[in-house]
Structure 1
Amino acid sequence: MIKKAYAGLTALVCLLSATSGHADQPTPWGMTMQPAATPIMRENTWFEHYTLWFIVPITLMVLLLLIVVCVRFRASANPVPSKTSHNTVIEVIWTVGPVLVLLFLAVPSFNLLTAQLTLPENPDVTIKATATQWQWNYEYEGSGETPVAFDSYLLKDPDRASAGKTDLATYPRLLAVDNELVLPVNQTVRVLVTSAPTDVIHSFAMPSFGIKIDAVPGRLNETWFRAEREGLFYGQCSELCGKDHAFMPIAIRVVSEDKYRQWLTAAAKDLPGAYKTLMAQTGPTAPSVDLAENTAR
C-alpha cells in the first residue's frame, strides 16, 4: 500500500513538473536520479529510496560500533584484553540480521528485474538501434513501403544554426544530436539493440526511462519502455567504446500519437522537412516543452 501511494505521488510530481518550460535538467550538486518518465523508472526510484532505509541505519550502526570499540577497547582503557573466544548470541545476531536484510532487499529487487526483463506482448512500436563508433542508427520496423531509418550523431556547434538548435537549454552541448529518435507518448516501445558486426560493445542508456542495455556485435538484445509524458530526453552510450565514447549521446523526442504519425509519414519522404515541422510544433517556443537530460560522466 505504501509502495503504491509513493508511486502515485511520484507520478503526480512528474506530471506537474512537465508543465514547466525546462524541467528535469541536472542541477549543480544534484544528488537524486532524474524524474521518472516511465513506470519502470518510478520503480527504480522507489527501490532507491527503499534501500536507503537499510543502508543509512546500517552505516550509522557500524560507525557507532567502530567508535565504541576504539574508545572502550583501546590499550590505555583496557590493559588486560579479554580472552573470550566466542559469543553464541552475538554470532546468531550477526548471522540472522544480514540474512533478513538481504531478504528484504532481494524480494523487491527480483520483482523489479522481472518487470524490466518481461517484454510486453504486441508492442505498439518496434525500433532497432544499431551502435557504431560513435553514433546510433535507428530503424523503424514496419514503417511502411518506404522504411524510416537514419543516423543520429552528436550535434556540432557549427551546425546548430542550420539545424535550428541554438538554444543550449533545450539542446545541451555534447548531448544534442542532429536527428532525434521520435516516439509516441503512452505507447509501449520495444527496442532491439545491437552493434555493427565489426564494431565494439556499446550500451543504450536512457536515465529518465530507467533502461540500460548493451549493444553487442552479432547479438540482438531487447528492452522496452512506455513514456508517460512528452518531452525531449537525453542519454548516452554507457559502455567504454573508444576515444569518442563521451561524444555518443542518445536523444529521444516523445510526442503525441498524432504528431508521431504525421512525422513518421513525412520522414519516409523528407526526413529534414519532417524534423523542421515537428520542431516547430514541439520546440522551445511551443507550449509545455519538457526537457530531461543526464549529466556527462
Structure 2
Amino acid sequence: MFDHFVWSVIVVPPLIVVTMRLLADRLPPSTAAVVMAWSAAGVAAASMVNLILFTLTAIAEVPAVGRMFGWSWRVVVDDTAQVAWVPWLSAVLLVVATVSVGLRWRGHRRALRLSHVELPDGGTLVMLPDATPQAFAVPGRPGHVVVTTGMRQLLTDRQFDALLAHENAHLTAGHHRLIRLAELAAATHPALWWVARSVDYLVERAADEQAAVEIGSRRTVAHAIGTAALATTGSRDLRAGLHAAASGGVVPRRVAELLRPPARRRWSGLGALPVSLALASVVWTGEAIYDFFELLNAARPG
C-alpha cells in the first residue's frame, strides 16, 4: 500500500499543479477553471482516502483492536514494517486536513449568511443604500446580484451594465461551485493552494469575457473593472469572497487582457493531461482500498 501513498499523497498533487500551470494559458478561462477545479478535487479526494486507509491501518495495528475484531494485529504490523511511520503520520495529516476543510467550509457558509438580503419581487438585482462601494453575486435559487448605491454612483450607465453582466455571468456559470471545489481541495492538501488562487482568477476572467460579449465592448468592461477595483481598495468585507469586483493584484492582468484583442484559445488534447492524472490517482486509490481489505482478510485466522 505504500506505493499508493507515495503516488496519491506525495507525487500527484504537486505534479498536477505543475501540469496545470503549464496548460492554464493555453485554454479558454472558463474551460481552464473547470479542468483545474475538478482535477484538484479528484486529486484531493484520492489523497484524503489514502490518509484514511493508512489511519485505519494504524488503528488495526493496536492489539486491543485486533482482539476486538478478530484479526492478528501482528500481520498488519508486519505488512507496514518497512514504513512503520507512514500509518501514524497519516493519522496526524488526516486530522489536520479534516480540521482545515471544516474551517474552510464554515467560512463559505458564513460568507453566504452575511450576503443574504431580501430579494425584490420579480427581480434579481438588489440595490443597497450603502455608501461603501460593493458589488457581488450571491448564489442561490434564484441567485442575485447586490450592488451598493456607493458603487452605482461611481459607474456610468454602460459601465454599470458591464458590471451586472459580469456578476450575472458568475451566477449563470455556477462559478461559486468551482471556487468551493478548488478551495476545499487546497484545504485538503497544501500543495494545491495555487489551484484555488488560479481558479479564482480564471472565473473572473471568464466572467469578464462573457460580459464583453454581452456588452459588445471589451474596453467598457475593462473600465468598469478598473473603477470598481479602485473603489474597493482596502475593503475587508467578507462578501468580497463571493466575487465582488474588488481590488487585488490580478486586476491589472484582467484589465490588460480585456484591452487587447481576444486570444483564440481552443480546447487542446493537452488539457486532458491533468484530468488523466487525477483519474489515475482515483483509480490507484481504488486499488489501495482493495489491498486494505485484502490485508484485513489475511490477518483473520483461517
Which TM-score band (shorter chain)? 0.3 to 0.5
TM-score (normalizing by structure 2) = 0.33
Name whichever structure is richer in helix by fraction: 2
Higher relative contact order (CA 8 A, sep 6+): 2
TM-score (normalizing by structure 1) = 0.33
Name whichever structure is richer in strand by fraction: 1
